[in-house]
Chain A
Amino acid sequence: RKEVEQDPGPFNVPEGATVAFNCTYSNSASQSFFWYRQDCRKEPKLLMSVYSSGNEDGRFTAQLNRASQYISLLIRDSKLSDSATYLCVVTLNAGGTSYGKLTFGQGTILTVHP
């Protein structure tokens, strides 16, 4: 089983639609959670961190369910510019002076069309 699994996608939605991505992780000791965005032939960039209480950034809402080891990303009122690959990322924070490495999901491709 992969450490981080995402919806296979691709998602093709019209402008204005609401779309949700899901992600599950296998290691219950995972500490930090993120969504990254990667445009075609570009580098990944942080979209938002995911907190246990859930958090919102404009049209984007992220949720975390530690009991189910499940992360979600909701995009409301989709824009053409939202077209990208969305990567679910988790990390184990080893504590002390060590650093938990990021583990990336395979990514979900979103295409927003006019």
Chain B
Amino acid sequence: DAGVIQSPRHEVTEMGQEVTLRCKPISGHDYLFWYRQTMMRGLELLIYFNNNVPIDDSGMPEDRFSAKMPNASFSTLKIQPSEPRDSAVYFCASTDKKKEDTQYFGPGTRLTVL
């Protein structure tokens, strides 16, 4: 099993630029989660999907953030325009809720906005 795949692993961009983070969940998993981790705030849930439908986006910080899941094997998190305070590690995770509560995390994307 390849696990959750995220790309890019590292992204450095300048303030005002658009950033797109990508995630491929584990095949067969019906839930997908986007998290953000910073030293100050720890690990925060941004949004999650069930069967490609957004269920709870209350953690999305503001309108500059958007997430999509066009099919069961792909999701994107977009930040437009990016700001320095968006610098963080962004994790994607997936789970098969019918089987278990645990979530499997991808390796994360380390975003730096200059």
Contacts and interface: CB of A to CB of B under 8 A. Distances in A.
A102 B56 CA distance: 12
Nearest to A97: B50
Interface in B81-108: 91, 97, 101-103, 105-108
B45 interface: yes
B42 A32 contact: no
B114 interface: no
B106 A99 contact: no
A32 B105 contact: no
A30 interface: no
Given A97-B50, A99-B55, A99-B97, A44 B107 contact: no
A98 B53 CA distance: 12
Interface residues of A, number: 21
Contact of B101 (A45, A91, A104, A106): A91
A44 B43 contact: yes
B43 A43 contact: no
A48 to B, nearest CB: 10
B108 A99 contact: no
Given A91-B101, A102-B103, 17 more contacts: A42-B107, A43-B106, A43-B107, A44-B91, A44-B105, A45-B105, A46-B102, A49-B102, A93-B101, A99-B48, A99-B55, A99-B97, A102-B33, A103-B45, A104-B42, A104-B44, A106-B42
Interface of A: 32, 34, 42-46, 49, 87, 91, 93, 97-99, 101-107
6 contacts: A43-B91, A44-B91, A87-B43, A99-B31, A99-B55, A107-B43
Interface of B: 31, 33, 42-45, 48, 50, 55-56, 91, 97, 101-103, 105-108
